[in-house]
Chains A and B, each alone.
Chain A
Amino acid sequence: MSSFVGAIGDVLSSDAAYISAISFAALLGFGAVGEWVAEKSGTLNISIEAMLLAGAFAAAVGYDLTSNLAVGAVFGIVAGMAVASAQAELSHRLPADQFVVGLALNILVLGLAGFLDGELEPVTRRAPRVEIPLLSDIPLVGDAFFGQPWLLYLVYAFVPMAWWLVYRTRWGLEVRAAGENPQSADVSGIRVNLRRRQSIYVAGLTSGLGGAYLSLALVGSFEDSIVGGRGFIAIAAVIFGGWTLRGTVAGCLLFGSVLSFRLSLPVLGYNLNNELLTSLPFIATIVGMALFAHRVRPPAALARPFIRGLQ
């Protein structure tokens, strides 16, 4: 037990542990911010995993072609949006089941990425770190937050932007109405399924960029297991956070830290059981949801399709 406390102390006082924790939290953040917007509109969008993977692969291809990070990021966004369009059109223009569509998309993109990776074999390398002056000199956490590849900093912009979009614009009001009471929203002239499709596109945008961040900045190469279920953890972070943006960010930080244990604990000389370390994020996610999910209220129409005249 004392060694456990010691380990926590070591992790808390290690620069490297903070860096990898924030790196993983940012990955979850890219997915979770978009997913939060989508869930606010009433869709439980499980194709985040596919969007991240598509973004990661397309960004690797884009970078391989041009050796330009920005082009890679744009490729990632386009791929994320492409997955989003399939999800949005099938489940919220046509009334196909959103989970079925999402699951099929996850499997399709996994297959496509594996197939195309074998054919194209894009070569990438890790993006360089960009230190923000002054801020990155903060002891202990400076490098973790402000000494990262620039792609990561985009997540800092996305969080307030998403908040502003959802809580301070007419569009956001309509999105929330679509998620809480689509029947009333429809009667007041809001195009419920259009708003839901648009919010899925937002998720596609942030997750596509998240994928680009994953393959170009966090890992520096592409393989088809690169996402490996972390998209689902991003979704869980939204639920853990009780559908508030603050809680979602807290969830990303918590689950991101647990994800990073697998890298940071062995470096610090703690040899925990590898299987336990690998499954810990998933177990922590399930426990986290079990502890908090029943205390919060999801958007009332979450995961319920809206078809005029049917409920």
Chain B
Amino acid sequence: MSDSTKVRSDTADQTQAGVTRASVLPVAEIVTLYAASILAALVVSALLVEITGGSWRTVFSALLDGSIRNPGRWGTTIGTAIPLLLVALGTIVNAKAGLVNIGQEGQLLVGGAFGAYVMIHLDAPGTVVFVALVAAAIVGGAVWAGIAAVLRYWRNVPEVLTTLLLVSVAAQLVGFGFKRESILLAPLPEGSATQVQQTVPVPEGARLSRVTVLGNEFPISAFVALALAAFLAFVLARTVWGFRLRMLGRNPRTAHRAGVSSQRYGIVAMLISGAFAGLAGAFMLTGGDFGSYRFSPNFAVNIGWTGLLVALVARERALFAIVIAFVFAGLRTGSGFLASTGVERRITDVVQALLVLALLVPPAVLFVRERRRAASATRART
């Protein structure tokens, strides 16, 4: 044991020396790598479109039309970006703590269901309903992530799997809620024979107000999401709590010796992560860009998955996540305009995943190169 510790500390010194020597950032290298990776992802996507008989130019142009160019579209894109950003912010919290939460889709759905339940059953003025709805959604998301967190620390069950498996359970739980009018299902409308699985709409007073900028309309939750991103970036970078959380993620052993309870911080991080997903659900329900103010079984529409991808691309940086959320929201709103091009709209899912994979490469390559440089620098000195 003591041998291995010694080896480790030696290599740690080497790395340090290497880092100080190569302190000049290889900017050209970084830019080239990122440009090449993104280009590769786009070329593969374009090839897929061409092989299946489409034309990448028309697809690209349709995506631009649908996301920003056509009148009113960038407002819709902002509306779509809000829940993506919120989900991503939550993911950043648990990632900083070294935990893997990949069940945001389920947490968002359960959050939405909790919010919808309160909205249906609370007979109160609009503002009260709104506050209760948001609070319930936050609790719902946190509970769903909390199950995974508790099992992780109590029974050693990997949270990677539980969060994933709970997504499927969440969908069935919500489906069960729509079996009964006493839970979520809206009463059958007069004179209608077919029962649609959805709730009654959110009452007027409990909806988020929408602002109009240059003919583009979006809910005011956009500002809340931006503020939360800034707040989170500050908390993680500049507070003791944020420091301890990052320490836990980077080096659990150091964190343990410094008296940071991995259990307490880990569970709190997971609860916050789920809470953000729940909040995203609440804002989707009250914002107006999703499902016309009604909750339904397929309410989450992959926002949880996409928000997770946003966080992965943003690499744990809350402010950068704002930009990525807008880009991915653009791909989503743009895909609505693909029908006229004859290309399946699911091509945008492929583009997103390819972009995520491509953006994994540059940091990894840079890391390897950095270490090689460090190693050769140490060799040269000795």
Contact = CB atoms under 8 A, between A and B. Distances in A.
Contacts of B14: 309
Nearest to B52: A119
A290 interface: yes
Given A94-B361, A94-B364, A107 B353 contact: yes
B353 A275 contact: no
Contacts of B350: 108, 111-112, 115
B185 interface: no
Contacts of A104: 309, 312, 353, 356-357, 360
Interface residues of B, number: 55
B76 interface: no
Contact of B156 (A95, A285, A294, A303): A294
A249 to B, nearest CB: 19
Nearest to A181: B4
A68 interface: no
A232 interface: yes
Interface stretch (A6-14, A166-174, A206-214, A233-241): A233-241
A95 B369 CA distance: 11
B168 A282 contact: yes
A111 B346 contact: yes
B166 A286 contact: yes
B303 interface: no
Nearest to B11: A309
Interface string A82-113: 00001000100011110111011101101110
Interface in B126-184: 151, 154-158, 160-162, 164-169, 171-173, 175-176, 179
A113 to B, nearest CB: 9
B353 A282 contact: no
A94 to B, nearest CB: 4
Which residue, of B14, B169, B171, B305, has the highest number of chain A Cβ atoms within 10 A? B169
B167 A229 contact: yes
Contacts of A112: 350
A286 B8 CA distance: 37
Contact of B161 (A116, A184, A239, A311): A239
Nearest to B308: A103
Nearest to B306: A107
A273 B179 CA distance: 10
A70 interface: no
A108 B165 contact: no
A309 B374 CA distance: 12
A275 B360 contact: no
B96 to A, nearest CB: 13
A276 B353 contact: no
Contacts of B356: 100, 104, 107-108
A107 B349 contact: yes
Contact of B365 (A94, A99, A309): A94
Given A107-B352, A114-B344, A276-B176, A235 B161 contact: yes
Interface of A: 44, 46, 86, 90, 94-97, 99-101, 103-105, 107-108, 110-112, 114-116, 118-119, 183-184, 228-229, 232-233, 235-236, 239, 273-276, 278-279, 282-283, 285-286, 289-291, 293-294, 303, 307, 309-311
25 contacts: A44-B158, A90-B364, A94-B368, A95-B368, A96-B360, A97-B360, A103-B312, A104-B309, A104-B356, A105-B353, A105-B357, A108-B356, A111-B347, A112-B350, A115-B349, A119-B344, A232-B165, A239-B158, A239-B161, A278-B168, A289-B155, A294-B157, A307-B371, A309-B12, A311-B8
